[in-house]
Chain A
Amino acid sequence: MEDRLIVQKNFKYLLFGMIGIGVISMLFGFISDPERAWANYLLNNYYFISLSIGAAFFGAIQYISQSGWSSAFKRIPEAMASYIPVAGVFFLLMYFGMHSLFHWSHEGVTATDELLAHKAPYLNVPFFFFRIVLFFGLWTIMVRLLRKISLKEDEEGGMTYFYQSEKYSKVIIFIIAISFSLFAFDMLMSLEPHWFSALFAAKSFIAAFLHASTVITLIVIILNKIGHLKMLNRSHLHDFSRYIFMVSILWGYFNFAEFMLIWYGNIPEETIFFVKRSEGVFQVLFYANIIINWFIPFLFLMPRMTSRSKVYILPVIVILMIGQYTELYYYIWPAVVKGSKFGLLEIGTYLGFLGLFTLVVTNTLTKANLVPKNHPYLEESIYHQF
């Protein structure tokens, strides 16, 4: 099935315009309020890397579970994962903002702070960047490898590439499970180095998986709307929305489990996280996160009728994309900005990163046929029905 994506010139100009807005608002932010600008930088970087990692994980479990239905759409997770090296460069550039973001990176802080001195062998600037290089190196190598095998399968066919993909998918989920947990500790939890929660890693990973599933669905629906991926039917939509439904329940479960244990244990070191966030906007965001990320998808995608229709899924996707933003805002802002500022800087930065992410993803999508050609489950996927 020949199905190539051709990007319109106007669309590219729009994306460049968005990136321009992002660059301008970042520059403006660095001059006027560097801490807030770096917080924006971290939030958006983390937002889109978690989409990429979630997509890589999504693609991998399709291979491991040998799912038939999704094989025609596997180019979309692949394309989203191709953003990983770009994000890696951005995370390395965070070197210049370490002091604005991470309290533990200040000189001499270990002399007066016993806990930070205890954590110093792990939480120090050189090792921090060594971990970033290591994680992004591993992710990039694995994602590139899977992509290469997938493209070779298009040309040559046969079962060997399928088995290879399955084997490397098993490797990548182990790598992601360990490295993304540590990555979430580094990027979000170490913003407040005196607070700790073991569930935080699992929660961040589930959030990444949830929002990646929604964005995959969004891209599939958009591509279908503009005339590609013609085989998309209601059963595929039902399967995509079941992913969103299932992972949003899991998100709610992890989120609640973390909160409930901290609330019940009532240990000051742990409760400080929620005490800090129990005023003003953050109190609202605490409830808003639960409603946006769990309650709305849970209620709206439960009936068979709504979970098979684009009209109902699209608003849920948009709400969940906002939900990821509010969730990260809830983590980062009280720790870095120490207030709830939201304005043109936030919107501009988000637009900039969104433009860049879309540019990278569409660029990768144009490089190969949108439907894989010789995947052994392709037939099953095209005629998927239940």
Chain B
Amino acid sequence: MITNKKYLVGVFNDEHTLVDAFEKALQKGVVIQEVYTPYPIHEILTGMKTKTRITYAAFFYGLFGVIALIGGMYYAAVIDWPLHFGGKPFNSFPSFIVVTIVATILIITILTLFTFSARSKIYPGKKADIVDERATNDKFIIVLDQNNMGIEMPEVTQLFESNGASEVYQKEANSN
């Protein structure tokens, strides 16, 4: 998200004023870039209209995991290297299931983590993009892109301030 861009940042002290200002801004046609809150808020989640497809990805990783594991164990235990274990048949399917459950969870977790990291462009050692330090503490932050705000800047500032923003300021993001 960080490029050499100019931002308008609205700082709010509590959830209610934030949601109020957020909904009014949406009604007026303001394009909101991002909202940072200390905890998830339903109205923001639905208002931002962000949809995730990661659940579908996770489902297909799970399907892949189940097929690959059962197939792999079948290949190892029946086709490639059949061994007798305690009088059990080569294809001792019920005992494969335990391994399948546990390893599928692992596969889903790891592959979903990788997918998520790749999609949101984060990797180990990356510096955090923090627009306002206080967003990591107890403040609620709305971030707008100055080039694409929907309406004029003074109007936005006025809208935020009249709806209980404790501070509205401009910021030039430094690329990293």
Is B42 close to A, CB under 8 A?
yes
Mask: chain A, 252-294; 1 = CB below 8 Å from B; 0 = not:
0000100110011010000000000000000000000000000
- Which of B40-77 touch A at CB < 8 Å? 42, 55, 59
Is B94 close to A, CB under 8 A?
yes
CA distance A386 to B42 in the complex (A): 7
Contact across chains for A385 and B94 when beta carbons are under 8 A apart = no
Is B97 close to A, CB under 8 A?
yes
Is B95 close to A, CB under 8 A?
yes
Report which B residues bind A (CB closer than 8 A).
42, 55, 59, 86-88, 94-95, 97-98
Interface of B is mostly: helix
Point out the residue from B55, B87, B95 that lies within 8 Å of A260, measured CB to CB.
B95
Point out the residue from B42, B55, B59, B95 that lies within 8 Å of A264, measured CB to CB.
B95
Contact across chains for B94 and A259 when beta carbons are under 8 A apart = yes
> Whole-angstrom distance from the CB of B47 to the nearest CB of chain A?
13
Chain B residue at minimum C-beta to C-beta distance from A253: B101
> Whole-angstrom distance from the CB of A209 to the nearest CB of chain B?
21
> With A266-B87, A302-B59 known to touch, is A256 a contact of B42 (CB < 8 Å)?
no
> Whole-angstrom distance from the CB of B85 to the nearest CB of chain A?
10
Contact across chains for A260 and B59 when beta carbons are under 8 A apart = no
* 17 A-B residue pairings within 8 Å (CB atoms): A256-B94, A256-B97, A259-B94, A260-B94, A260-B95, A260-B97, A260-B98, A263-B94, A264-B88, A264-B94, A264-B95, A266-B86, A266-B87, A302-B59, A304-B55, A385-B42, A386-B42
Interface of A is mostly: helix
Chain A residues positioned under 8 Å from B87 (CB to CB): 266
> Whole-angstrom distance from the CB of A55 to the nearest CB of chain B?
30
New A-B pairs, 14, CB < 8 Å, besides A260-B97, A264-B94, A302-B59: A256-B94, A256-B97, A259-B94, A260-B94, A260-B95, A260-B98, A263-B94, A264-B88, A264-B95, A266-B86, A266-B87, A304-B55, A385-B42, A386-B42
Chain B residue at minimum C-beta to C-beta distance from A263: B94
CA distance A302 to B42 in the complex (A): 21
Size of the A side of the interface (Cβ < 8 Å), in residues, is 10
Chain A residues positioned under 8 Å from B98 (CB to CB): 260
CA distance A364 to B94 in the complex (A): 45
Chain A residues positioned under 8 Å from B95 (CB to CB): 260, 264
Chain A residue at minimum C-beta to C-beta distance from B95: A264
Chain B residues positioned under 8 Å from A302 (CB to CB): 59
- Which of A336-386 touch B at CB < 8 Å? 385-386
> Whole-angstrom distance from the CB of B86 to the nearest CB of chain A?
8
CA distance A385 to B98 in the complex (A): 37
CA distance A259 to B97 in the complex (A): 12
Chain B residues positioned under 8 Å from A256 (CB to CB): 94, 97
- Which of A114-146 touch B at CB < 8 Å? none
CA distance A385 to B43 in the complex (A): 10
Query: Lowest 7 A-B CB distances belong to which pairs?
Result: A260-B94, A263-B94, A264-B95, A386-B42, A256-B97, A259-B94, A385-B42
Chain B residues positioned under 8 Å from A264 (CB to CB): 88, 94-95
CA distance A266 to B42 in the complex (A): 53
Chain B residues positioned under 8 Å from A266 (CB to CB): 86-87
Chain A residue at minimum C-beta to C-beta distance from B59: A302
Chain B residues positioned under 8 Å from A259 (CB to CB): 94
Chain A residues positioned under 8 Å from B55 (CB to CB): 304
Chain A residues positioned under 8 Å from B88 (CB to CB): 264
Q: Which of B55, B88, B94, B95 has the most CB of A within 10 A?
A: B94
